[in-house]
Structure 1
Amino acid sequence: MILPVIAYGDPVLRKECEPISEEYPNLKELIANMYDTMYDAFGVGLAAPQVGLPIRLFVIDTTPFADDEDLTKDEQVQLSDFKRIFINAKVLEETGDEWAFNEGCLSIPDVREDVFRKPKIKIQYQDEDFKTHVEEFEGLVARVIQHEYDHIDGILFTDKLSTLKKRLIKSRLINISKGNISVDYKMRFPSMKKKR
């Protein structure tokens, strides 16, 4: 089932999310709905706050990035095969020299900006069966994880922009929160309290 994506300005996007346990109700169904929602909006990641739930859960499928001709063959293979569920994630380490990549967000449609992030991360998380993993990721996979991880800490990619960039996009962000934007997927706007 496709859920409405919560738009910029909704307080749920600013909450530090709570861990969940195996008893969380209808978790498998929620995960399936989050993937449906993400695919419907042509996203590569989606965090629970983006569907209105302040819990430490996000899903990722980087397959769409695998077609990028600017990437090496190894990077294309890694991206084509990366689909993962992260529950109760905790970033343990971020290393390397920061690099810029043009990021966007389903909750902030039609706004894309260069964001600097470290290229390598070490993260601990649980899968859908609540088995704990500690893994290292790098490149675009690490970046997508960092972006979604920020969501469960109440951080948006726009928070990482310079003061000047924030000023330049301020009116666009206000318009998004008011629903003054055309989107091809279901959204819920905080100022309107209605779905589109």
Structure 2
Amino acid sequence: MIREICKDEAFLAQKAELATPADLQVAADLLDTLIHHKEGCVGLAANMIGVNKRIIAFDNDGSYMVMFNPQIIKKAEPYDTEEGCLSLSGIRPTKRWKSIKVSWQNEKFQQRLKTFTGWTAQIIQHEIDHCEGIII
């Protein structure tokens, strides 16, 4: 189901709760909403559709990926950039890392670990910031 994009900064500033298998429908809605906005959006976090859970969905080099309870456990090569967000107006400066190692759970809640680089790493960092209540 396509959900409305949340623009409430007080809600977006909350740290997300851990996701559980009961949140699989939230992930499906997150993907539906991301695909609906694909012309202007490459990633979403659950709080952007009004659900305060630690779930992100993003374009991973042409295919969509969902992560439950993602955490960055290693980062390398910082750089400065600018980003926009569907939940906020305008473009803002931010610091990102060219390479990140992420720990997360898949839709079966199996633990996964992978290093991401470049544009995909930047998208993941933005969405994990949402999970942390960090407003870009």
Q: Is the 8 A contact 1:12 1:53 kept in 2?
A: no
1:6 alignment partner, SS class:
coil
Cα distance in 1 for partners of 2:19, 2:92 equals 32
Aligned counterparts of 2:127 and 2:7: Cα–Cα separation in 1 = 15
User: Offset of 1:41 from its aligned partner?
Assistant: 2.4
In structure 2, distance between residues paired with 1:16 and 1:6: 15
Q: Distance in 2 between matches of 1:85 and 1:146?
A: 14
Q: TM-score, normalised by structure 1?
A: 0.64
Task: State whether residues 102 and 112 of structure 1, in contact with CA within 8 Å, keep that contact through their aligned partners in structure 2.
Answer: yes
1:109-164 Cα distance to aligned partner (Å, 9 max, x none): 3x11342211111110001111110111111111000000000000011xxxxxxx
Q: Distance in 2 between matches of 1:112 and 1:123?
A: 26
> Equivalent residue for 2:82?
102
Q: State the alpha-carbon separation in 2 of the partners of residues 145 and 156 from structure 1.
A: 14
State the alpha-carbon separation in 2 of the partners of residues 132 and 34 from structure 1: 20
Equivalent pairs counted in the alignment come to 134
Gaps of 5+ in 1: 63-78, 158-196
Structure (1/2) with the larger strand percentage: 2
- Structural mapping, 1:36-47, within 5 Å: 36-42=32-38, 43-47=41-45
Structure 2 letter corresponding to 1:48: A
Aligned counterpart, 1:54: 52
Q: Deviations over 1:35-67 (max 9, x none)?
A: 2212222311110111111111011114xxxxx
Structure with bigger helix share is 1
Contact 1:31–1:59 (CA under 8 A) maintained in structure 2: yes
Matched with 2:112 is 133
Does residue 119 of the first structure (1) align with residue 98 of the second (2)? yes
Gaps of 5+ in 2: none
Runs of 4+ in 1 over 6 A off after TM superposition: none
1:83 to 33, 51, 64: 64
> Is the Cα–Cα contact under 8 Å of residues 26 and 46 in structure 2 kept in the other structure?
no
- TM-score calculated relative to the size of structure 2: 0.89
Distance in 2, matches of 1:4 and 1:20, equals: 20
**2: CA distance between counterparts of 1:103 and 1:8?**
18
> For the aligned residues, what is the CA RMSD?
1.6
Q: Percent identity?
A: 29
Q: Give the whole-Å Cα distance in 2 for the aligned partners of 1:6 and 1:136.
A: 30
Instruction: Give the conservation status (yes or no) of the 8 Å contact 1:120–1:139.
Output: yes
